[in-house]
Structure 1
Amino acid sequence: MTVSSSRRSLKPSSAADSIRAGTRKSARSERKKVPVSESMISALIDLKRADEQGLVAQLTSQLRSLIATGRLGKGRTLPSSRRLASDLGVSRNTVTYAFEQLAAEGYLAASHGRRPVVTVDGGERIKGAVASGARSGKLRLSPWASSLKQADWPMSYQAPLKPLRPGHGDAREFPNEIWARCLRRSAVRAGKRELGVVNRARLREVLVHYLATSRGVRATADQIMILPSAQAALTLIAATVVAPGDEVWVEDPGYPGAAAAFRASGARVTGMILDEQGMQRMPGLAAPTLIFMTPSHQHPTGRLMSLARRTEFLGLSRPGKTWIVEDDYDGEFHYDSRPVPALQGIDAHGRVFYVGTFSKAMTSDIRLGYLVAPLALASTLEIAQRHMGLIAASHVQDGLAEFIADGHFLAHLRRMRRLYHARRDPLAEELERHLGGMLSVEVPSGGIQLVARLTRSRADQAMVKRLVATGVETRALSSLSLGRPRDHGLLLGFAAWRESEISAAVRTMATCF
């Protein structure tokens, strides 16, 4: 019998139609599910030829459901494949394949020459277990994963990008055609290489020169690891040098991703308060296993850590005992003076991990970060990187090496420094003009965002929610604190937004408040 798109052609028996109509009404009511007789099985199955699933998948799914809900109880013998195929108006192979799949899944016992038998005790026992799990809401999670619902990182409203979201450069100004040519040439080179042979050293060698001249970083290519993101670098460091229960110091307020990475390794994370020189050491505390800081542009305040403070923390660290992680997330952007050399460059004893990213200087979807490791840990970190699967795409690495070596990266940076500098001051001026009575603006010497502190209120998180509803995205300063917030204000991005967009966003803020 030929299968058609009509429901009737699949069920030729008018008697079966009558049974089917009654059983459908019963199924819709869902008041009581009772076992069905063998003659009614075909009436409970509804196959549609036009369905994208296909007949075999539909039949398998519907039989599985009948067993799981107890309509076909344990020990129930099903019709033969020939009989069920005739009743349904499908080929015998369709039924055979469905029986074989259910037998493989453990729902049926089937053997040659015998009709299949249901082997699963479904019904109320299965439903009760599912309902019990749904009511309890308890899933087996690690302590770290259980705390994620209380975290405000990353922001839950992060898509799509809206003014004045912090942490982003202007992707519209990126030289996409040049970047695409670099990637295409990289793909061609990859196709000509021997299978499995990848030149991973090229980008690292290019970075050695770039970091030395631009940030004062001292390293060899063997110390540099290319990762999918700066966050991946923090995860790698935490997994390598932090054991459960170890003490880790971070800035407070600070970058939430750092605390997230170290807590995932079981660390006890302690926030260090800030002053005008950046992170302060709290008196009386013994040196921790690791210290995380953003000395060039403190996240989120933009403050520059003084040389005296840098020296103090370097004196506190000891190789193998206390390590320092320097996150230079937007160190390419300085406007009012020459960039201050990286902390790593004045470390004479190999105590500092230097972490950087291309997502701020290029575009956020580049998804490449890098880590300059202390020489003593470089080989261990490379093995750990492989074990954790934190590998960046080779063709993107090769394309980026060409982009930097040919001068495109530095040309783009020079242009973006001028552009972002020209956007920072208008944002500060607009905030002073429209919201000067509510906000006190701290203008950073560099970076891609600024802090506006509340002068009359502490309800920065409520303000952020109101602003998001109007199409303006900011970050509450209090949400970046580890404990009880000492700072209340808004973190506002300026780099990604043109002057007209900045002006419109600030006017919206003024109307909202």
Structure 2
Amino acid sequence: MELHVVITGDKDLSGQLYRQLHDAIRTGRLAADEQLPPSRLLAERLGISRKTVSEVYARLTFEKLLVGRVGVGTFVAPQVPARVTLAPARPLASHAAVEKWRTLALPLRHPPAAGSARYEFIGGSPAIELFPHADWRRCTLHALRENARTRALYGPAEGQPELREAIARHVGFARGVRCRPQQVVVTNGAQQALALLARVLVEPGSTAAVEDPGYPQAQLILGANGARLVGVPVDAEGIVVDAIPADARLVYVTPSHQFPLGMPMSEQRRRALLARAGEIGAIVVEDDYDSEFRYEGRPTDSLQGMDDSGNVALVGSFSKTVSPSLRLGYVIAPPAVAEAVANMKHLVDWHTPTQTQVALAKFMADGDLQRHIRRCHAAYAERRERLRARFADDLAPWFELVPTVAGFHMAALARRAIDMPTLLNLARRVDVGLYPLAGFYRFQPPRDGLMLGFGVIAAADIDPALDRVRDVLQQMG
């Protein structure tokens, strides 16, 4: 990679080179310990004498901006005080728009690994220690060979054909979804799937109905596209259908494992929701984020599998079943909107990384995905039972678990008044990461409680962690 220096004319060559290198170092464009080109090579590229380059290097070395290492080369000094860049004198014309995004609250942004607690109950993160590295390595090598064979050209916006077919088979087998591969659009995680649907279905001022409490990111995405959000309460059977406004264009729901409370939507409520969507012409966005992990009761059909009118778009993610680092998800779009979603995908980023898609298609075709889900299911079931036992025992005076049959998080509602900020702070001091439910309520007064993810924490760590939580609660009185 060539160093960017521009020499004009044939005067003050040394001064031009000095000022550009000095400015690049002081502003941080040339980072600490960055190696500079040898003086002969830089001189040849710039069309100046080697002596001129050597003199500039010597001057910057004298000023302690560069250091020479015998037999190695010339490097930017390890510690160079950065020059302060003054803020613009006038505010940007787009200042208000920038501020809206700069101050956006993102309650689900995960902490960096360095900031996490020893015992983490954060939701949405799967058991990374169970990731099948050997199987994935084999599938990645297969994808590399395929890339070489096909010359690694740009791929279709909708996704690689083999992955779309694999997804259609998987959701049909595991979730009762009725679709053709042509309805599948592969995305960079479920987040992008929601964003594509919002861009296609929502216009400024149009109404979108969302669960309350609900998934903040879905609400933020819809709001960012100009939707007028209407919060619809949930009860023990799911979203209260009668409260969905008649002018709703889109209804966002999490029927298999309500986010964040966890209860499943009853079959009667599902049928009522489908009838309501057909009546008002709304698209129901079914976020099926972690329903592969089911622990009790009879399986329930997906909303999409029950829909006879083409009103349901199902969103899924491999971040929960495989790994968040893959950033792979999908949307099963109704026939009426599938082409529009694919066109929007093309405009947003053309296509999801081809190599990863091919590897995942191989992973699914070889049965590795189903084997991995079974391994994770066994681990999550053990952790879930440990949590249920403790909240039915010594933690029962403070919290009550919401009944749930799927996923890898549970909600615990407070039975009595608890100073939640103090509880979270004191738990963090004893290395336990707890997360409140309050941030998921937007349209009604929040209920005190905890969202307990059990994807990250090991089964053996649950009791020691909850012992510390119990001790903190006792100290709080």
Deviation at 1:460, TM superposition (A): 2.9
Residue among 323, 328, 332 paired with 1:372: 332
- Residue in structure 2 matched with residue 192 of structure 1 by the alignment: 149
1:490–1:237 Cα change, 3 Å: same
Residue among 166, 171, 178 paired with 1:206: 166
1:372–1:95 Cα change, 3 Å: farther
Asked whether the 8 Å contact 2:285–2:313 carries over to 1, the reply is yes
Matches for 1:5-44 after TM superposition, within 5 Å = none
Q: What SS does the aligned partner of 1:274 have?
A: strand
Asked whether the 8 Å contact 1:295–1:304 carries over to 2, the reply is yes
Name the amino acid aligned to 1:247: T
Residue among 172, 176, 181 paired with 2:138: 181
- Residue in structure 1 matched with residue 431 of structure 2 by the alignment: 471
Asked whether the 8 Å contact 1:56–1:94 carries over to 2, the reply is no
With 459-468 and 349-358 compared, the bigger mean Cα shift is at 459-468
Q: What SS does the aligned partner of 1:497 have?
A: coil
- After superposition, the C-alpha distances for 1:23-58 in whole angstroms (9 at most, x for unaligned) are xxxxxxxxxxxxxxxxxxx9xx9x9xxxxxx95534
Asked whether the 8 Å contact 1:460–1:478 carries over to 2, the reply is no
Residue among 155, 165, 169 paired with 2:109: 155
Matches for 1:478-497 after TM superposition, within 5 Å = 478-497=438-457
Residue among 20, 43, 67 paired with 1:57: 20
**Percent of aligned positions with the same letter in both sequences?**
28
Q: Which has the higher contact order (CA 8 A, sep 6+)?
A: 2
Asked whether the 8 Å contact 1:55–1:94 carries over to 2, the reply is no
- Residue in structure 1 matched with residue 227 of structure 2 by the alignment: 267
Deviation at 1:190, TM superposition (A): 0.8
Name the amino acid aligned to 1:311: R
- Residue in structure 2 matched with residue 165 of structure 1 by the alignment: 122
Asked whether the 8 Å contact 1:449–1:494 carries over to 2, the reply is yes
Larger Rg: 1
2: CA distance, partners of 1:129 / 1:207: 52
Q: What SS does the aligned partner of 2:146 have?
A: helix
Q: What SS does the aligned partner of 1:490 have?
A: strand
2: CA distance, partners of 1:142 / 1:377: 33
1:435–1:147 Cα change, 3 Å: farther
- Structure 2 runs not aligned, ≥5 long: 1-13, 28-49, 58-83
1:145–1:218 Cα change, 3 Å: farther
Deviation at 1:332, TM superposition (A): 0.2
Asked whether the 8 Å contact 1:152–1:479 carries over to 2, the reply is no
- After superposition, the C-alpha distances for 1:455-502 in whole angstroms (9 at most, x for unaligned) are 222543443343334322232111101134332100011233222211
1:320–1:148 Cα change, 3 Å: farther
1:274–1:96 Cα change, 3 Å: same
TM-score for both structures, normalised by structure 1: 0.72
Residue among 315, 320, 323 paired with 1:363: 323
Matches for 1:17-416 after TM superposition, within 5 Å = 55=18, 57-60=20-23, 92=52, 130=87, 140-141=94-95, 146=100, 149=103, 151-155=105-109, 157=111, 159-160=113-114, 161-162=116-117, 163-196=120-153, 198=155, 200-283=160-243, 285-318=245-278, 321-389=281-349, 391-416=351-376
1: CA distance, partners of 2:380 / 2:96: 42
Deviation at 1:195, TM superposition (A): 5.0
- After superposition, the C-alpha distances for 1:251-273 in whole angstroms (9 at most, x for unaligned) are 11111111011011011111111
1:227–1:156 Cα change, 3 Å: closer
Asked whether the 8 Å contact 2:209–2:245 carries over to 1, the reply is no
- Residue in structure 1 matched with residue 79 of structure 2 by the alignment: none
Asked whether the 8 Å contact 2:409–2:453 carries over to 1, the reply is yes
Q: What SS does the aligned partner of 1:300 have?
A: coil
Deviation at 1:438, TM superposition (A): 1.2
Residue among 414, 419, 425 paired with 2:379: 419
2: CA distance, partners of 1:482 / 1:244: 20
1:280–1:319 Cα change, 3 Å: closer
2: CA distance, partners of 1:409 / 1:212: 15
2: CA distance, partners of 1:144 / 1:281: 37
1:155–1:456 Cα change, 3 Å: farther
Deviation at 1:341, TM superposition (A): 1.3
Deviation at 1:197, TM superposition (A): 6.5
Two-structure CA RMSD over aligned residues (Å): 3.1
Count of aligned pairs = 406
Asked whether the 8 Å contact 1:454–1:460 carries over to 2, the reply is no
Name the amino acid aligned to 2:141: R
Deviation at 1:376, TM superposition (A): 1.3
1:305–1:57 Cα change, 3 Å: same
2: CA distance, partners of 1:461 / 1:390: 44
2: CA distance, partners of 1:156 / 1:290: 28
Q: What SS does the aligned partner of 1:295 have?
A: coil
Deviation at 1:244, TM superposition (A): 0.6
1:393–1:193 Cα change, 3 Å: same
Q: 2:407 aligned with 1:447, yes or no?
A: yes
Name the amino acid aligned to 1:57: Q
